[in-house]
A = this chain, B = another copy of it.
Amino acid sequence: MTYIQSVKNQQVKEWRKLLTKKGRDRTGTYIIEGFHLVEEALQSRQEIVSLMIDENVDIPLHWDLQAFPTTTITAEVSAHLSSTETSQGVFAICRIPKFNVSTLKGSTFLLLDAIQDPGNLGTMIRTADAAGIDAVILGEGTVDVYNSKVIRAAQGSHFHLPILTGQLPEWIQKLQNQQIPVYGTALEGGVSYKTVQSSTSFALLVGNEGNGVAKTHLSLTTSNLYIPLYGKSESLNVAVATGILLYHLKDAN
């Protein structure tokens, strides 16, 4: 087992680059940290490239460190790699999965248009997972899904369902060609979500925190939905709105 003590070690520098999108894109890998996420990675079929464990940390007995290249690191290296204030001292480098669109199966989809806030994106992936959605499609302008804040907010759901990037107009067309209704979301000009029956197949399209879904996308959907605002707030948080709509489409009647 390799042992690394210095934050100046070249390998540590390479790992730390995975905290940036550039570093992730160049290597096709990303970094996760914390017991829960590493556990999820180990349990999933996600390809783990390597593990890094703080020498002061006791890891669960069932973690099979022999199965992966594992490096023991000091508390200082651990703090250096961490994107949180108090590191748990366990990390994994994972390969960014490639999904083959032509073989992707499913009947329920969440399409995201230019979501900016990492916490929102992670929460939406977690919510899609909870609602049993088959895949999440990220349109242009959405924050990088392997950003550490997104990963933290998603609490392991990255390992549970396919997350793809793509052109939303193509996806809207493709899904409708498969008789899957695509519901956009809009504050104005749509129909109340309550008028839509739940169904075993649907796609929900939600959008940017400030601007909502692009009008050009909304013009392509099967129909557009709004959630009534009964009080004085001007809108709902996009992750909360996504939860209300996904569970309604899944569960209602």
Contact = CB atoms under 8 A, between A and B. Distances in A.
Contacts of A247: 227, 244, 248
A57 interface: no
A221 interface: no
Contacts of A227: 130, 247
A251 B160 contact: no
Contact of A236 (B126, B234, B241): B126
Copies of this chain per assembly: 2
Interface in A18-43: none
Q: Contact size class for A? A: 35 or more
Contacts of A250: 230
B155 A231 contact: no
A156 B194 CA distance: 26
Contacts of A229: 130
A152 to B, nearest CB: 12
Given A227-B247, A240-B239, A233 B155 contact: yes
Given A123-B237, A157-B231, 14 more contacts: A126-B236, A130-B230, A130-B235, A130-B236, A131-B230, A156-B234, A157-B232, A157-B233, A161-B231, A194-B251, A227-B247, A230-B250, A237-B243, A239-B239
Interface of A: 119, 123, 126-133, 153, 155-157, 160-161, 194, 227-237, 239-244, 247-248, 250-252
